[in-house]
Structure 1
Amino acid sequence: MEKSRLLWRAIAQQMPSRPLSTWTCTQCLHLRQQHRPLKTPPLLRRPQRRHQTQPADDPSFKSIVDNPPRLIRAGRRHNRLGLVVLATIPITAFALGCWQVQRLTWKTDLMAKFEDRLVREPLPLPPQIDPDAIHDFDYRRVYARGKFRHDKEMLIGPRLHDGEDGYLVVTPLDRSAEFRGFAGNTTVLVCRGWVAKDKAAQAARLAGLPTGEVVVEGLLREPWKKNSFTPDNKPEEKAWYFPDVYQMAEHTGSQPVWIEETMRPDLLASYDRSAKGIPIGRAPEVNLRNNHLHLDVSSLFLNITASSLMLDAFLFLSIALLAYAIATEIYRYKVRLPTLPGPTGLPIVGNLYQLAPDPAETLHQWGKRYGGVYQISLGTRPVVVFNSMQAARDVFVGQGHALLDKPRLYTFHSVLSSVASSIGTTAWSESTKRRRKTAASAMNKPAVASYLPFIDELTKSLVSELLEHGRGGEVAFDPRQAVASAVTDLTMTVNYGARLPPDEALLNEIIDVEDGLSKIKNPLGSAQDFIPILRLLPYNSQSAKAREVNRRRLIYLRRFERETEDRVEKGVDKPCIQGKCLRDPTVQLDQVDLMSISMSMVSGGLDTMVNTLAWTIGTLAIRSDIQEKAYKAICNAYGSETWGPIEDEHGVPYIDALVKECLRAFSVLRLSLPRAAWKDIQYGDVFIPKGTTVFLNAWGCNRDEIVFGTDAEVFRPERFLEDPDLPHAAYGFGTRMCAGVHLANRQLYVLLLRLIWSFRIEMSKDPAERIERMRPLEDVTEPFHLAAIPPGYRARWWLDFAREFQVVS
């Protein structure tokens, strides 16, 4: 026993206070829990008994020598359920991989079968189809003859096409005329294709509503299967989110037969269809996702690592996003202007998404709360908003030299126009100064007087085109295409010395491209301009659309430049901006400057002139009382036998007042192109530091009740007869206001005078083609567009000089 006690003391002295590994002797662990490590003197010293009740004195004591040691794992035991789950991950991943291989084989065979059906000649669709047999004819090409029932049209959406929001157009095809002897139902559902969101209303795409008998060729498809994430359709509200063929067939009284109309892929044809509102059909090809091989490899790899990485990734992204939000919020409050009130905004985005649904009107209403000058935050960028006429004129005119600059917006200046941009969007520099001086000298009053023969010719051409298309009032049609052609002709003549070539496809391409540019030029049109983190997204639809629009624009601009250079070399050119710059060696403009001027001329007229005339013509068609007053004023000035000399600039004061009221009331450029402070600005107690972005809310200024009275919302040209010096903000204010003011006013004056004298304008009698009102606030189709676009309509152009008007109150 004494020997055992001495050995125990020697081992206890040499053992560390903590285990050296995760494995521990049970006996030692038991002893350590009962007693602290003994501080025993070295063995060479004689042991001394300190206590009568030491463990070794107990007769029942057993040392580690007496019992064999047993090893156990120190710490918590692992949950067996977790071990089972961990063990099933590789098994599950392997099973998923095998399933994907089987799916790959099945999908390859299915695609081969469908592609074989596509190469066969289309079959005529029988009068009635058994729904159970459609499975055997899926992706089979068929054709059918009949008449579209546009009154039962359905729009499924939203749907994206090349990054643009829109709808799928589904129209029943009535084939009763082809199968007159058949007693059953012959109507089928035809998915005609995709239309843009701004063409959703039938009045905006009349060219895409064929009225006669048509032949439809497409693919017979099986009914779609709805997933759990898609909301239910609401037929009573005309809200269709998913093509439920049986539900749609019951709603329209058709057979549950779905045909997808096809068209050959053609870029120009797609542009032309989109501009006219004609649905863009699908390509005749098999659209089945075949990613099973990729999914096979992914499942075998990702399923193994997902369980351990997903939580870490989620926590990392959450912390990073929180840190980013805190940092941006601190910076946003730091750069806010201390002397200006304004809405608080949200983290990261500021007030950007609070401006919906109509930014100009939202800023107008905020102006009533915060005053004529206040600030908002777009992302982290502070923006000063001028919302009252007096404050805008005091600063933009009184201190115009301090607002020469333009802010740099990522999408427009870095992606779309990295080399050249229009004059109105370019930062102030000596080059910008030269461009603006050249353009302004080409559109001042003396220069506009030299363009009067062109304006005279173009207005006569427009009147002839309206007369021809309308057949003297028998046919109602949308006049915007003809107006756009006339406006583009004039800008082409001023800039290039030649009219637009008689190519309708080219005109449609220009209109479509410039419309896309207007969406990008809108200072609130791209969130990535103010939220930099969005630029890092792997697929950036906004940048992709900007690059595509810029590519298409450069194609026709370079074509016009080459044609102008050829005319100059041959000596057959007419006076124009580009010709003057090419001929005069003293003009210090390079190719980038000339391209910038061309961009400004082509886009400026389509943004402002076309939309202003479209709003005005629609208003005249509804308000015959205004037509009567204008026509009588023209007759009083020139007589009823002529529309007067074109040289007379203000011969009819009522027409002059009508032009100003159109510019004020409709305010097509509702948020003028933004400015940036070139110098520090002090306006009363308001201090605006250099570099600050400044918005002129032309919409709000043109509705300032202090200037225009309590009837500022009413369209009333007489206000400018009562006070001819009454201002409006349609062209902006100050040094960098629109350089084409004189040309635009002159063209509007001549066009309205001659259209009112030549025609009696009325809305179409067809309820689907007419509108009952033209209210610029409620009826604007795209509030986030740079230019306010009116709703679609069709008008009749009566060549009737008797003028028997029915006054509409």
Structure 2
Amino acid sequence: MVSLPSPVSFLLSHVNIVAVTVFLIVCYVVHFYQKQCLSSIPPGPKPWPLVGNFGGFLIPSFIQRRFGQQSPSTDKSAVGVLTELTRLYGNVYSLFVGSQLVVVLNGYEVIRDALSNHPEVFSDRPDIPAISIMTKRKGIVFAPYGPVWRTQRKFCHTTLRNFGLGKLSLEPCILQGLDSVKTELLRLNEESGGAGVDLAPLITHAVSNVICSLILGQRFHHEDREFRSMLDLMDRGLEICVNSPAVLINVFPLFYYLPFGVFKELRQVERDITLFLKRFIARHRETLDPENPRDLTDMYLKELSAQHAAGNVDSSFTEDYLFYIIGDLFIAGTDTTANSVLWVLLYLVIHPDIQDKVQAEIDEVVGTHRALSMTDKGSLPFTEATIMEVQRLTVVVPLGIPHMASETTEFRGYTIPKGTVVLPNLWSVHRDPTVWDDPDTFNPARFLDDEGKLMRKEFFIPFGIGRRVCMGEQLAKMELFLTVTSLLQTFKFRLPEGTQPPSLRGRFGLTLAPCSFTVCVNPRR
């Protein structure tokens, strides 16, 4: 006897058939859309399942497999490999970090076209988990492009200029810190007995104190334990985010909450930095005199009170936002400039003939007793050309800060979907053999004309380009020039006897830092 299906089971079977059919149609549509979309994006290496190109595109052997053992590039750093990929895919190519599409822009013309000619499309910031967790997408460096960012950046830029940003009035603050550096260098060099001195802690401290005077209204002694701990925490936080397994947070965000290893350490670093900065904001709030603001923090709190008094409940000025602005400025105003100074000194140690020539120019123009000033800069073309040449070769932020396409757009014949992360490869601009002769060679004379005068070149862009160009560019240039020239006026730097120079490849993180090195410091007078 044949049993007939019940009405319920019959209905369910039809529901299942319909569900499966709908599922297959959706899968087909999604697959078709992705195929059409991916076919029009810039070319690039084939992604791996789940991780995309994350596990493979930075492996130097990738280049060797494509070119054989005689790879045309000697630079096997991550940014060097990214630049080398242009030989395979052109100046605009794609990568995937997990499922996230990343488009890398290479060469001056391409980067200028995107960031200067299409600023409304390419000025946004992506939601990168490791960064967003730390910054909450606030501040002025990592915040999304839009009205809030424009308001906050304009306020900060105007306020910092009022306190001396990029002006000669800031010179005494910079030179005061250098006097302390010189004294400490002599003491440490004598104690080392010829073993050499690590310049990094002193340079970082001096540079950081300049930005501290602008945003926190005070300077810190180099032996201040709390401040030293803060600098170490920020350095460690950047290192964890970029050069440790914690980078996997960008593919699997839940890894941030893992209760062990660098994931646990990263959360502790974030807590410690938060406590440090919020203590300063609290002190400023308690001692604020609206008629006599001391720094950017006072000015921000004053503006915050004015917004509240006016009943502007939708104002973007909040104490929470101030916290992230201070963090942004503290890191951006310390790490990049300190590394630039260290790179210049390292190159001059490795090239003592250039160091001698710079010092001869300083002696001729300034002498040995008068302190240097920014007014001397125009009279020291070889010195400035040397600094610029080191900036060209090192590019302390080689991939810039990641940008994002705020809308789907056509660019250079390709479709860039909305939400695509865009990396401007500044390293590729400064190592481009089509615009620089023998680009891998250290040659300050490339920035001088036949009469020895300084030449400005449009494709020299160490601070970026477009609306997201570094806000502290003028301050960084001032600190870099005064720090390098003041130290060279006073000291001769040499590698310790029998010591090999460190690799010039550097340590790649959010910034490109020189490998650790020590120098012997000898007074010139």
TM-score, length-normalised on structure 2? 0.80
Q: For residue 144 of structure 2, what is the aligned residue in structure 1? A: 427
C-alpha displacement of 1:423: 2.0
1:343 pairs with one of 45, 69, 78: 45
Please say if 1:795 is aligned against 2:519.
yes
Equivalent-residue separation in structure 1 for 2:104 and 2:124 (angstroms): 16
> How far apart, in 2, do the equivalents of 1:791 and 1:520 lie?
17
Deviations 1:264-290 (A, max 9, x none): xxxxxxxxxxxxxxxxxxxxxxxxxxx
**Structure 2 CA distance for aligned equivalents of residues 375 and 524 of structure 1:** 24
Which residue of the other structure, out of 430, 434, 447, is the alignment partner of 1:702? 430
1:731 corresponds, among 463, 473, 487, to: 463
Residue 490 of structure 1 pairs with residue 222 of structure 2:
no
SS, match of residue 352 in structure 1 = coil
Q: Hey, what does 1:510 align to over in structure 2?
A: 230
Q: Deviations over 1:353-391 (max 9, x none)?
A: 111363211211101221111111111111110111221
Do the aligned partners of residues 527 and 554 (structure 1) sit closer, same or farther apart at CA in structure 2, a change above 3 Å counting? closer
CA contact (8 A) 1:760 1:797 kept: yes
- Partners of 1:662 and 1:791 lie apart in 2 by 15
Aligned to 2:24: none
The reply to whether residue 447 of structure 1 matches residue 165 of structure 2 is yes
Q: Distance in 2 between matches of 1:529 and 1:563?
A: 34
Point out the more displaced range, 563-572 or 675-684. Answer: 563-572
CA separation of 1:517/1:733 partners in 2, compared to 1, >3 Å: closer, same or farther?
farther
Match of 1:356 among 53, 59, 72: 59
Change (3 A) 1:524 1:363: farther
SS of match in other structure, 1:448: coil
Between the aligned partners of 1:537 and 1:672, the Cα distance in structure 2 is 28
Quick one: structure 1 residues 628 and 372, their matched pair in 2 at CA, closer, same or farther if it must change by over 3 Å? same
Residues 640-686 of structure 1 show CA distances to partners (whole Å, capped at 9, x for unaligned) of: 44343344443312222222222221112222111111244433313
Distance 1:534 1:593 in 2: 25
CA distance 1:523–1:474, change in 2 (3 Å): closer
CA distance in 2 between partners of 1:397 and 1:443 (Å): 25
Q: Which residue of 1 aligns with 2:109?
A: 390
CA distance in 2, matches of 1:541, 1:581: 37
The structure in which a higher percent of residues are helix is: 2
The whole-number CA distance in structure 2 between the counterparts of 1:329 and 1:466 is 63
CA distance in 2, matches of 1:338, 1:408: 23
Asked whether the equivalents of residues 439 and 577 of structure 1 are also in contact (C-alpha less than 8 Å), the reply is yes
Matched-pair contact (CA < 8 Å) for 2:491–2:521: yes
Alignment of 1:223-238 (within 5 A): none
2:447 partner letter:
F
Counterpart of 2:521, as a letter, is W
What residue identity is the alignment partner of 1:639? G
2:283 paired residue number: 563
Contact 2:336 2:396 in 1 (8 A): yes
1:753 alignment partner in structure 2:
485
Contact 2:202-2:222 within 8 A present in 1 as well: no
CA distance in 2, matches of 1:674, 1:526: 18
- Identify unmatched segments of 5+ residues in structure 1: 1-15, 17-325, 802-809
Aligned residues: 466
Distance 1:335 1:550, change over 3 A: farther
1:642–1:522 distance in 2 versus 1, CA, 3 Å = same
Whether the aligned pair in 2 keeps the contact of 1:489 and 1:500 (CA below 8 Å) is: yes
Q: 1:403: Cα distance to partner?
A: 1.6
Mapped pair 1:771 → 2:500: yes
Higher relative contact order (CA 8 A, sep 6+): 2
Per the TM alignment, residue 405 of structure 1 is displaced from its structure 2 partner at its CA by: 0.9
1:59: which partner in 2?
none
Pair 1:621 & 2:354 matched: no
Q: Which amino acid aligns with 2:123?
A: L
Deviation of the 1:799 alpha carbon? 0.6
SS at match of 1:626: helix
**Structure 1: distance between partners of 2:336 and 2:415:** 33
How far apart, CA to CA, are the structure 1 residues paired with 2:141 and 2:243? 12
Which TM-score applies when normalising by structure 1? 0.53
CA offset at residue 502 of structure 1? 5.4
Partners of 1:360 and 1:671 within 8 A in 2:
yes
* Pairing 1:554–2:291 present: no
Residue identity over aligned pairs, in percent, reads 22
What's the CA shift string for 1:15-35, capped at 9, x where partnerless? Answer: x9xxxxxxxxxxxxxxxxxxx
Please say if residues 159 and 299 of structure 2, whose CA atoms lie closer than 8 Å, have aligned partners that are also in contact: no
- SS of 1:669's equivalent in the other structure is coil
Counterpart-to-counterpart distance in 1, 2:130 and 2:221 = 32
Work out the CA distance in 2 between the residues paired with 1:329 and 1:623. 57
Whether 1:595 aligns to 2:314 is no
Partner residue in 2 for 1:366:
85
